[in-house]
Structure 1
Amino acid sequence: MIEKIKAWDERVILYINRYLKHKVLDYFFIAVTYLGSDVFAIGFILAFAILPVSTVQSFALYAAVALILSGLTVGIMKNSIRRKRPFETLIELKSLRIGVDQFSFPSGHTTAAFSLAVTSALVTQGNIASSVYLILALLVAISRVYLGVHYPSDVIVGGIIGSSYAVLIHIIREVIIVV
């Protein structure tokens, strides 16, 4: 099973790298990938934390908790699994090495983007903003593969981790509000 996933990962990333690369997309995805950075995530949360409305401040707290838990999970997994990045294993890959640490699996940028996006979407349920948050998170995931710094399975698992913690924290938040 692992070998099949690895083969699929390599086929997808090499296809994107060979046939979908374009200078305009390079610049676009370099910009988009920073939406999953630590600096953006912390800035996003701090911006809401300093607003005077208590609902917004509680959102910032829950977003921070989801982000911290998902980040810890990613750190533990990266250091346990120690998967090399695509540009280290696929010689023919043309990579734009933007925002990378040592290991590839799972994608921390994607995890952070989905943690914030799903937390935000759950708060703004039914609002068009919910869709925008999720689309931006998806673009972060795509950017990581497009730039050649992650395999598709890295970003899929990162999205699952970030989303799962956001949903878990949202459920806890709802229980706290009811009690």
Structure 2
Amino acid sequence: MDLDALQELDKTVLLAFNGSGNLFMDYFVLTLTSAYTWIAFYVSLLYLVVKNNENWLKIVLVIGAVALGLMIVDGANLAFVKPFVARLRPLEAPGLQGLVVPAEHYRAEGYSFFSSHAANAFVVAVFFALLVRDRFFTAILVAWSTVVSLTRLYLGVHYPSDVLTGMLSGSAVAVFVYGLYRRLYIRCSDKLHYISTKYTRTGYSFADVDAVLCILLLTFIYAAFRAVLSI
């Protein structure tokens, strides 16, 4: 498949995901795509880390690893990739004007390739999946980060290739920073494997994991209620 065919496929998939003509979905997606919506979820992840690490060195290691991952993807994307590729967003692309539907006049600044939303979401999701090591928790985190990524297609501010590259980049960076974190963690702790019905094998309480999942569910419910009230 040549480049032109890939670009056409990119546009076709974008138009399949973009918009719905439904006010509820427009406001629901607008809420989900906002970073502010997920503040309570991020706080719950911080609570999970603080509650399940016995000293501040280990807590700072986790926070530092996540911060480093976000700095890497955002720094590389905003400072190098986006300016170098200089891809116009779908809403601004000459061949797509009038075809891509903005939700409630939503716009995004800067170039399109690649999606920082997708990259950041997958840094968080993959890192915490590796950190906690619970299959159900991992599945929910991947589902959450995928939903956040797909909101960018619905809103018409990214192409599928932008989102896919962001997802892969975020995942790769998360694996990298987790590797750094693990090497440092081993130096200050030998408790790397738990066998218990109350804890994951890396020592995270299932009760605290469930609390994070409850916050995530409540955030989706909040987004739905806000969408209803905005109609």
Give TM class, smaller chain: 0.7 to 0.9
Deviation of the 1:51 alpha carbon: 4.5
Deviation of the 1:40 alpha carbon: 5.5
User: How much is the aligned-residue C-alpha RMSD, in angstroms?
Assistant: 2.7
Q: TM-score, normalised by structure 2?
A: 0.67
- The 3-state SS of whatever aligns with 1:169 is helix
Partner of 2:228: none
Q: TM-score, normalised by structure 1?
A: 0.85
Partner of 1:144: 152
Q: Distance in 2 between matches of 1:156 and 1:58?
A: 29
Q: Is 1:65 aligned to 2:68, yes or no?
A: yes
Q: Distance in 2 between matches of 1:51 and 1:175?
A: 20
Q: Which runs of no fewer than 5 residues in structure 1 stay unpaired?
A: none
Partner of 2:113: 105
More divergent stretch after superposition (88-97 vs 101-110): 88-97
- The 3-state SS of whatever aligns with 1:84 is coil
Partner of 1:33: 33
CA contact (8 A) 2:61 2:185 kept: no
Which residue, out of 87, 101, 108, partners 1:94?
A: 101
Q: Which runs of no fewer than 5 residues in structure 2 stay unpaired?
A: 188-231
Superposition misfits of 4+ residues, deviation over 4 angstroms: 49-53
Larger Rg: 2
Q: Distance in 2 between matches of 1:10 and 1:17?
A: 10
More helix by share: 1
Identical positions, percent: 25
Q: Distance in 2 between matches of 1:21 and 1:12?
A: 17
- The 3-state SS of whatever aligns with 2:76 is helix
Aligned residues: 175
- The 3-state SS of whatever aligns with 1:101 is coil
Q: Distance in 2 between matches of 1:98 and 1:44?
A: 24
